[in-house]
Amino acid sequence: VLGSNGSVVPLFKKQITAGGPLTITHPDIIRYFMTIPEACQLVLEAAAMGNGGEIFIFDMGKAVKIIDLATKIIKLAGYVPYKEIDIKIIGLRPGEKLYEELLNDKSTTLPTYHEKIMIAKVEASQYNKLSEEISILIDYAKRYDTHKIVSQMKVIVPEFKSMNSKYEALDIK
């Protein structure tokens, strides 16, 4: 979400103010962007149409190459990319992907009355398996077993990597 905490745009502005360089993790990395009002509107609209249990997918438009965004922001600030403000490739962080996968291969979407909101059609077996894994996670949480909580979270979200923590040993390789 553009301008929100964790968004790359405020980071780029800060880096430009400091004289650069703008740091990106990979030259081919792409992301989708929408404004805070757009995101809020879609979330509220989806909440109003939900009956319970649906997974909503938003049409976020065309993906943007972060390196292109960095170049445009440098130009908009009145500088020449790579001459006055450099762009430095720093490498992907653990678990970071080049592109966001909005649906897995076995999923399809169903349209809603809103052109930018779809409902993910997920196989019952996938839902049942996830529900079972979450029940296990809740059980560990009720027992305050942090080691098992983190371990189970990594089963549910295998892409999640612990960075600089005692749980790195649990990372699924």
CA distance 16 to 10: 10
With a cut of 90, say whether residue 125 has pLDDT above it: no
Output the pLDDT for position 105: 45
Output the pLDDT for position 168: 77
Which tens digit of pLDDT belongs to each residue from 23-53?
Answer: 999 999 999 889 889 999 999 999 999 888 8
Output the pLDDT for position 107: 60
Residue with the larger pLDDT of the pair 106 and 15: 15
CA distances from 92 to 88, 89, 95, 98 (A): 12, 9, 8, 8
pTM exceeding the 0.85 threshold for the entire prediction:
no
With a cut of 80, say whether residue 8 has pLDDT above it: yes
With a cut of 50, say whether residue 75 has pLDDT above it: yes
**Whole-number average pLDDT of the chain:** 88
Q: What is the mean pLDDT of residues 118-140?
A: 87
Output the pLDDT for position 60: 86
User: SS3 for the chain, per residue?
Assistant: CECCCCCHHHHHHHHHHCCCCEEECCCCCEECCCEHHHHHHHHHHHHHHCCCCCCEEECCCCCEEHHHHHHHHHHHCCCCECCCECEEECCCCCCCCCCCCCCCCCCEEEECCCCCEEEEECCHHHHHHHHHHHHHHHHHHHCCCHHHHHHHHHHHCCCCCCCCCCCHHHCCC
> Where does the pLDDT of residue 123 fall: very low under 50, low under 70, confident under 90, or very high at 90 and above?
confident
Q: What domains are there in the chain, each with its CATH number? A: 1-122 (3.90.25.30), 123-173 (no CATH)
Which tens digit of pLDDT belongs to each residue from 78-111?
Answer: 999 999 999 999 998 877 888 877 664 446 888 8
Could you tell me which of 50, 41, 45, 35 has the C-alpha nearest to residue 120? Answer: 50
CA distance 113 to 49: 9
